[in-house]
Chains A and B, each alone.
Chain A
Amino acid sequence: GAVVSQHPSRVICKSGTSVKIECRSLDFQATTMFWYRQFPKQSLMLMATSNEGSKATYEQGVEKDKFLINHASLTLSTLTVTSAHPEDSSFYICSARDGRGAQETQYFGPGTRLLVL
């Protein structure tokens, strides 16, 4: 299957700082990428849809000014958690939609574990 990388894999930061997470599709172009968040023992919840060359679409309840998304190229989307607080500690995982096949499978990055102290 297609490969999606995500960096960093783990980050610990102080409250109030900003953290940037990168998501790259390595062997295909992705006009659409998705950002999910997963709290312990819970399912993945969609945060936002990242569209190349246009503004991201945020799910209800997700603050766009807190979770900044930039999709500047067909292979890179970034999520910046601004002024992070302990309640933002979570597992963040991105996916990229591979439109080459009929089923348009979404391939996921390995995820980023964020711990805000």
Chain B
Amino acid sequence: AQKITQTQPGMFVQEKEAVTLDCTYDTSDPSYGLFWYKQPSSGEMIFLIYQGSYDQQNATEGRYSLNFQKARKSANLVISASQLGDSAMYFCAPTGTGRRALTFGSGTRLQVQP
């Protein structure tokens, strides 16, 4: 079974600053992927970024990037130049070989302050 840990239940960041949201996971799968989703108050789950365990480079997608440290089993999400619209819950979700469903961490509530 996979275990996902998001140690920050809540985070505050000033608008235009960068913020890092932590995620560590425990998996025995030799090959796996890591997803990050954003959930605003409306409830929808918005796909942000994906990292494959064998990817040579850290994933980037616009203002989102992953600080992927495979040996430490961590995949922290970095949001640069925060915007007020970034205020939401953020979930980390690894997926492994043979298991296509996502197992979500407890999430981090990010609040961007003007």
Contacts and interface: CB of A to CB of B under 8 A. Distances in A.
Interface residues of B, number: 20
Nearest to B50: A103
Contacts, number: 55
Chain B binding site: helix, strand, loop or mixed by DSSP?
Answer: loop
Interface in B40-80: 42-47, 50, 52
Contacts of A95: 45, 102
Contacts of B35: 105-106
Interface in B11-62: 33, 35, 37, 42-47, 50, 52
Chain A binding site: helix, strand, loop or mixed by DSSP?
Answer: strand
A93 B45 contact: yes
Interface string A94-117: 010100001111111111010000
Interface string A77-105: 00000000000000101010100001111
17 contacts: A32-B100, A34-B101, A42-B106, A43-B104, A43-B106, A43-B107, A44-B45, A44-B104, A45-B104, A93-B43, A93-B45, A97-B100, A103-B33, A108-B46, A110-B42, A110-B44, A111-B45
Interface of B: 33, 35, 37, 42-47, 50, 52, 91, 100-107
Interface of A: 1, 32, 34, 38, 42-46, 49, 91, 93, 95, 97, 102-111, 113
